[in-house]
Chains A and B, each alone.
Chain A
Amino acid sequence: MSVLLETRNVTKIYRPGTRMEVRALDDVSLSVASRSSVAFTGPSGSGKTTLLALLGAMERPSHGQIFFQGRDLRSDSDAELTRIRRKMGFVFQDFALIPSLAVWENITYPLIPRGMSGGERRKLAQSLLDELGLPEKIDKRPHELSGGEQQRVSIARALAGRPEVILADEPTSNLDDAAAVELIAVLKKTHTAGTTLILSSHDPRVLAIAETVYRLKSGRLVATDR
């Protein structure tokens, strides 16, 4: 299998040179193969979310290199990083839905700059919601949904752009048991369909669907379980 994402000696420091300096990641090197599923785990503050953000081209490392499909992202412009993000789908811990938009618009808003018409977008949203068991919620606003439903909408948004990889940050942390089980099933199904999964979690049920689990502690990679 080809390597989809790779980090080489990646370090991320926030507020460098100040008394508030935080070394969120320290010299992390790893690779993620295409169509694989990996998970990062570790205690709070271990750098899971930061690593996910770096892999998702949402931030730049302070030191080290990140490669996406063999391309070094270090010298890429902001616009090029955005183009790369279009090949990815994100599921955020807090769902990151836009409160003023209806569910179908939240799901397909990322497709507007890709030229998809309103009619096509609504149709796509409907099919994704059907798949995720929320067919009747298409015109609801996020605040009208439960946490589990919002997370499924967030997954639908991640899937809408047919991404090569889905990055999910603590996807079950805000869900009850039943919703978490449903969500894991959706992620499994997505992976089975050929999408690479990169997850961060300390939920054993989430870690169970990953082929490789990286353990982080204080920003350093301390173990790899296969």
Chain B
Amino acid sequence: MRLFFEIARTGFAALCLHPLRSGVTICVVMSILVPYLAGVGLSHGIRDVAEDSLRFGADLTVTGIRFGRTVPIPLSAVDAIRQIEGVSEVVPRIVGALSLGKNREPAVLVGLPHGRLPKDVTWVQGQFSDSSGMHEFVVGTQLATRLSLKVGSIIPPFYRSAKGERLSKVVGILAPDAPLWQANLMLTSLETAAQVFDQPDQVTCLLVSCRAGYADQIKTAILRIASPDSSRGTIRYRVASRQELGSLLPSGWLHREGIFNLHFVLGFAVAILAMLVTSGAGLSERRREIGILKATGWQTDEILLRGVVESLLLCLAAASGSVVVAFVWLKWLNGLWIASVFLNGVDAAPSFEIPFRLVPVPVLLAFLISAIVVLSGTLYPTWRAAIVPPRDAMR
């Protein structure tokens, strides 16, 4: 055992004796592990936010369909659904995409009834006044940054409506540490949203809260309702429960993470090649050293043990360093660049606090991957040099 430790110690010494070689190896491994850990951490953070949104959201989400496609729901449906036994609240909502400014910045406009708009909350700087006569908006941090909007900014008409256009006023900016979904959001009243999209008395969905145990029967009751639309015929409803929406989450999340993993596998392959090349840069030195050790009485397995210890220490250093750097990247650099890989339309430097969670499995996987990369990059050349006659290795 003492012999084992003495030889193992030389592996540690070899690490320190070749700082350039060790440094290059650690950098190569970190260059693939850091984006991987940061990406997976970000992916978990996004998933957490999505799950929170579901958990604190409505029990049922009602949308309208016609010809199998989603269509707006008449506002009159709110009253019909309120009549159903067990319904505690129905919130109509308008959600629609639009673009603003000369660069056509994408935004998501959300309209809620006046009573549901946030007032005097910590995650909004500013508040709705109800009295300005203009359209009032609370905008997300990224959108505000891109359009240089501040509280009090006036937005000229950016839509066409049968009721005419009006000036819009920014009455609030969402706080950067508010949840992720606020980045490109424009929050306004239901009436304003209806006018912006020129869809009077229509909403995109209804959020239904139910008393405990009533959700299934309310869902059935809503599906039985057919809402007549005077001009266009009948609208049927589609009702998604919280669980059903929850089951949709992993597919999107896994799709994105899958693409990221695919990129990572490619990066991983490149890293192994890079490792072979970089260890090849010091290969003649390594070969000669191994030749000297063999010539002076070191056995092949002893040389390999020394190489394994050196490689494992390198991978430990690389993996630990990667965890730290990934944390710094997500926490203090706020996912600079990598957030835009995971989140559509997000700037390379996000102007809001990105969600992330470093979970144990990818971290452990990082150690494993690091070991595979380092061992294949360093141990293989070591083994190749150790099995040839010492004189050949020393040449």
Chain B minimum-CB-distance residue to A87: B297
- Across the interface, which residues of A come within 8 angstroms of B9, CB to CB? 118
- Across the interface, which residues of B come within 8 angstroms of A101, CB to CB? 17
In the complex, what's the smallest C-beta–C-beta distance from B286 to chain A, in angstroms?
11
In the complex, what's the smallest C-beta–C-beta distance from B131 to chain A, in angstroms?
78
Number of interface residues of B (CB under 8 A): 27
Interface centre among B9, B295, B297 (most CB of A within 10 A): B297
Whether A90 sits at the interface, judged by CB under 8 Å, is yes
- Across the interface, which residues of B come within 8 angstroms of A83, CB to CB? 297, 299
Q: Mark A151-176, 1 if CB is under 8 A from B, else 0.
A: 00000010001000000000000000
A1 to B117 alpha-carbon distance, docked (Å): 107
- Across the interface, which residues of A come within 8 angstroms of B300, CB to CB? 78-79, 82
**Stretch from A37-45, A105-113, A188-196, A209-217 forming part of the interface with B:** A105-113
- Across the interface, which residues of A come within 8 angstroms of B10, CB to CB? 109, 112
Whether B292 contacts A82 by the Cβ 8 Å rule is no
Whether B2 sits at the interface, judged by CB under 8 Å, is yes
In the complex, what's the smallest C-beta–C-beta distance from B205 to chain A, in angstroms?
69
Whether A85 contacts B292 by the Cβ 8 Å rule is no
In the complex, what's the smallest C-beta–C-beta distance from B216 to chain A, in angstroms?
73
Known: A58-B391, A98-B292. A117 touches B297 (CB 8 A): no
Whether B157 sits at the interface, judged by CB under 8 Å, is no
A85 to B7 alpha-carbon distance, docked (Å): 18
Interface residues of A in 50-65 (CB under 8 A from B): 53, 56, 58-60
Known: A100-B18, A112-B6, A117-B6. A53 touches B297 (CB 8 A): no
> CB within 8 A of A78: which of B295, B296, B387, B391?
B387
Chain A minimum-CB-distance residue to B14: A100
> CB within 8 A of A85: which of B3, B6, B297, B302?
B297
Whether A82 contacts B297 by the Cβ 8 Å rule is yes
Number of interface residues of A (CB under 8 A): 29
Give the number of A-B contacts (CB < 8 Å): 71
Whether B152 sits at the interface, judged by CB under 8 Å, is no
A41 to B3 alpha-carbon distance, docked (Å): 41
Interface residues of A in 105-162 (CB under 8 A from B): 109-110, 112-118, 157, 161
Whether B257 sits at the interface, judged by CB under 8 Å, is no
> CB within 8 A of B294: which of A82, A92, A114, A157?
A82
- Across the interface, which residues of B come within 8 angstroms of A58, CB to CB? 295, 389-391
Interface centre among B7, B17, B292 (most CB of A within 10 A): B292
Whether A109 contacts B293 by the Cβ 8 Å rule is yes
Q: Mark A64-91, 1 if CB is under 8 A from B, else 0.
A: 0000000000000011001101100010
Whether A96 contacts B292 by the Cβ 8 Å rule is yes
Interface residues of B in 300-330 (CB under 8 A from A): 300-302
A58 to B291 alpha-carbon distance, docked (Å): 10
- Across the interface, which residues of B come within 8 angstroms of A53, CB to CB? 391
Interface residues of B in 189-229 (CB under 8 A from A): none
In the complex, what's the smallest C-beta–C-beta distance from B105 to chain A, in angstroms?
57
In the complex, what's the smallest C-beta–C-beta distance from B7 to chain A, in angstroms?
6
Whether B347 sits at the interface, judged by CB under 8 Å, is no
Interface residues of B in 79-132 (CB under 8 A from A): none
A60 to B293 alpha-carbon distance, docked (Å): 18
Q: Mark B2-28, 1 if CB is under 8 A from A, else 0.
A: 110011011000000110000000000
Q: What 15 additional pairs, Cβ within 8 angstroms, besides A85-B294, A100-B17, A115-B6?
A: A79-B300, A82-B297, A86-B297, A92-B394, A109-B10, A110-B296, A110-B297, A110-B298, A112-B6, A114-B297, A115-B2, A117-B2, A117-B6, A118-B9, A157-B296
